[in-house]
Structure 1
């Protein structure tokens, strides 16, 4: 008879540590979304997670590190990096631009609470501000790359087109249309895709429905 295989103690401890890390991050995300990043204290996160305050500090060290992990998990759930590669691999430039709208919509619709927390957590210490700036730069780099990939077909200068995409991507725009006005994410994606194509692409690049 084959003896039962026991889980190594080190593996079990790592699984426990990972579970604690996730529990703390989930608790912090709930509080950040409800009360705001600035108003949420490490002690409150500990209570929400059901762990000691010292455990929170031992796992993360600082509140901004929890925010960083929340952001990373959000990108993973959205499949943001993989989807961005698929967008850039799209052959047709008009379809690539429309799929850029899909990329942003997927990111926001996966967990808009995180986007709003990041957008609101601006009046913080210098290290937190740099963390937030780095996250924004990462998003903007992806968006800028999507626009630059269709540069030969643009009707406006590249820098202007990139700025327009960033303006459309403002958290307040999605919030006003989807959260406040009740649009579905699919409707937002369609609206954004149409806006990008008609505002940024040259007429020669956009097929005429009357002459397919």
Structure 2
């Protein structure tokens, strides 16, 4: 399966037929059902038959739409990125005028992903212990996210007070899912408060 690149524009496709639209609606219904089960029961504990029951379709319909459970996970991730407007928001950050705006924009971009649906983040983390093909899929998606994060920080390089590689590593460390979970999920911070803290911290640590 191809790796995810958040900065790649979605491919334009011809107008679909009614049957294609119905098939796509079924795939979305299955993906939504799978996401609920993955979040509740865990990725490894969820079966294709269980997904079929949750979606209200026959098991053969699930297998016709998705050859393997990891393909459903890939669709869940892609739909999450679309809901978060990840590609468009990243381009908007790169269009900002100066380094501080871009660093603050990088914080907003990351929090936008988490706040859109943190359940997906947790599902992806939990699935990292699965089979080799699933681990490969998740590694590809993580590389795609990290490429965007690195690019956002690199866009502020003229204003950095530390080496670029250090700045990129610090962003990833402060923006780790465990940090967000500890402050927002466990400590009760709002996503807006987390974003403000992250942006202020990055500006203080990275910029001149």
Q: TM-score, length-normalised on structure 2?
A: 0.91
Partner of 2:190: 184
Partner of 2:127: 121
Partner of 2:53: 47
- Are the aligned partners of 2:99 and 2:157 in contact in 1 as well (CA < 8 Å)? no
- 1:69 maps onto 2:75 in alignment: yes
User: Which runs of at least 4 in structure 1 moved beyond 2 Å after TM superposition?
Assistant: none
Partner of 2:163: 157
Question: Out of 173, 192, 198, which is 2:179 matched to?
Answer: 173
Tell which structure's C-alpha radius of gyration is larger.
Answer: 1
Structure 2, gaps ≥5 residues long: 1-15
- Are the aligned partners of 2:153 and 2:168 in contact in 1 as well (CA < 8 Å)? yes
- 1:101 maps onto 2:107 in alignment: yes
- Are the aligned partners of 2:37 and 2:51 in contact in 1 as well (CA < 8 Å)? yes
In structure 2, C-alpha distance between the alignment counterparts of 1:60 and 1:26, rounded to whole Å: 13
Partner of 1:25: 31
Secondary structure class of the residue paired with 2:189: coil
Question: Out of 83, 87, 91, which is 1:85 matched to?
Answer: 91
In structure 2, C-alpha distance between the alignment counterparts of 1:12 and 1:95, rounded to whole Å: 45
Secondary structure class of the residue paired with 1:183: coil
Secondary structure class of the residue paired with 1:38: coil
* RMSD of aligned Cα (Å): 1.0
What is the Cα deviation at residue 39 of structure 1?
0.9
Secondary structure class of the residue paired with 1:102: helix
The structure whose RCO (Cα within 8 Å, separation 6+) is larger is: 2
Secondary structure class of the residue paired with 2:29: helix
